[in-house]
Amino acid sequence: MPESNDATFPEIREAVRRLCANFPGEYWQKLDRERAYPAAFVEALTEGGFLSVLIPEEYGGSGLGLEAACAVLEEIHRSGCNGGACHAQMYTMGTILKHGSEEQKQRYLHKIAKGELRLQAFGVTEPNAGTDTTRISTFAKRDGDDYIVNGQKIWISRAEHSDLMVLLCRTTPRDECSKPSQGMSVLLVDLREAVGNGLTIRPIRTMLNHATTELFIDDLRVPAENLIGEEGQGFKYILSGMNAERILIAAECIGDGRFFIDKAAGYARERNVFGQPIGKNQGIQFPIARAYVQLSAAAGMVDRAARMFDEGHLGGTEANMSKMLASEASWYAADMCIQTHGGFGFAEEYDIERKFRETRLYQVAPISTNLILSHVATHVLDLPKSF
């Protein structure tokens, strides 16, 4: 079997593999059929300290960097599990850590590290804004000791299973700002209090079990003390979180790709047709080998992006490129794995079709491949913007 980069955080990787062995394919298949949340899996990750690796030790975490977090998520996905139910906690937490007040850090981070609070919802995307974040219209108006928030969000994952949500909204109209990126602020919303008191959550059923929702916000009161950082500076606050998100999801794609390559190579060695293993045929060998080559190259880009992030570089281009390369490599590996298995690849028993659907998401979310190419074209190659 092709090896993952066990030279980085081998003890963490081994511990994650042992944990994931308790949650085999049957567990995920049942959840997939029922569109249910993997509560037991998330609780086990929390108890093992894996969701608090980025939280400093002084707030109850491990105090490790993004490279360690990438190792956790890669191994989760290589093991056949799925980190989508909780990966947001790793990068949304960074908004509080980097830009929150000391009082906010003390109030929330310890409880997040212990699993007493879940911070897994990131409220940014809107029906009429999409990836053009500067055009969001959800508005928070100051009213005494509160903000009154009105608006709508879409494609917000895990809002039903989270206690807290990082919410990006406008506090100054776009046309009153000198730059489109100004006038946005970040509020920390307590969903336990908000739902039914100005916040309505509507689930969106999709082709995979991702707990995606649409949010309707009508005169929701949020305490002004829940403002993170300074009013109007929210856009730059979430940028680093977005970069971390893309790198972590890229690591998940690397794990998915390794899962598919492991499955395909194992099946090709064991499946006999006409008296010999199908893996003797170059028509079977070459796609598996190509998947391995592409995935290895993508993994190198992910490692580079995570290292840059840990060294304090914004690294937006590297984060975007790692996510694009990893998502495309995992999708090629997924398609190859289905093709290698033939009809069996579509059978639930082999647990490939579920992962096939899951990994397809990452060429679209959290940012599409075309938008990454646009970023590279205009920000790196200095080509004119098309919009």
Are 252 and 202 in the same domain? no
- CA distance linking residue 41 with residue 19, whole number of Å: 9
Are 228 and 241 in the same domain? no
CB 300 within 8 A of CB 284: no
Are 212 and 268 in the same domain? no
> DSSP letters along 9-54, please?
SHHHHHHHHHHHTTS-HHHHHHHHHHT---HHHHHHHHHTTGGGTT
Which residues are catalytically annotated? 245
Boundaries of domain holding 368: 236-380
Are 254 and 208 in the same domain? no
pLDDT in tens, 187-225: 999 999 999 999 999 999 999 999 999 999 999 999 999
Are 76 and 180 in the same domain? no
Whether 5 maps to a domain, the answer reads: no
Token digits for 89? 């906690």
Whether 81 maps to a domain, the answer reads: yes
- Boundary of a domain, candidates 210, 232, 254: 232
Are 248 and 370 in the same domain? yes
Are 261 and 352 in the same domain? yes
Are 272 and 189 in the same domain? no
Which CATH number belongs to the domain containing residue 165 in this structure? 2.40.110.10
Are 269 and 310 in the same domain? yes
Whether 26 maps to a domain, the answer reads: yes
Whether 298 maps to a domain, the answer reads: yes
In this predicted structure, what is the pLDDT of residue 92?
Answer: 83
Whether 376 maps to a domain, the answer reads: yes
- CA distance linking residue 319 with residue 28, whole number of Å: 29
Are 66 and 155 in the same domain? no
CA distances from 258 to 179, 261, 310 (A): 43, 5, 24
Q: What is the mean pLDDT of the chain?
A: 94
Are 105 and 25 in the same domain? yes
Tokens 């080509």 map to which residue? 383
Domains held by the chain: number: 3
Print pLDDT tens along the chain (387 aa): 445 456 789 999 999 999 999 999 999 999 999 999 999 999 999 999 999 999 999 999 999 999 999 999 999 999 999 999 888 888 888 899 999 999 999 999 999 999 999 999 999 999 998 778 999 999 999 999 999 999 999 999 999 999 999 999 999 999 999 999 999 999 999 999 999 999 999 999 999 999 999 999 999 999 999 999 999 999 999 987 889 999 999 999 999 999 999 999 999 999 999 999 999 999 999 999 999 999 999 999 999 999 999 999 988 999 999 999 999 999 999 999 999 999 999 999 999 999 999 999 999 999 999 999 999 999 999 999 876
Whether 386 maps to a domain, the answer reads: no
Are 255 and 373 in the same domain? yes
Give the global pTM.
Answer: 0.95
CA distances from 346 to 65, 282, 342, 355 (A): 38, 23, 8, 11
pLDDT in tens, 123-160: 999 999 877 899 999 999 999 999 999 999 999 999 99
Percent of the chain with pLDDT over 70: 98
Whether 385 maps to a domain, the answer reads: no
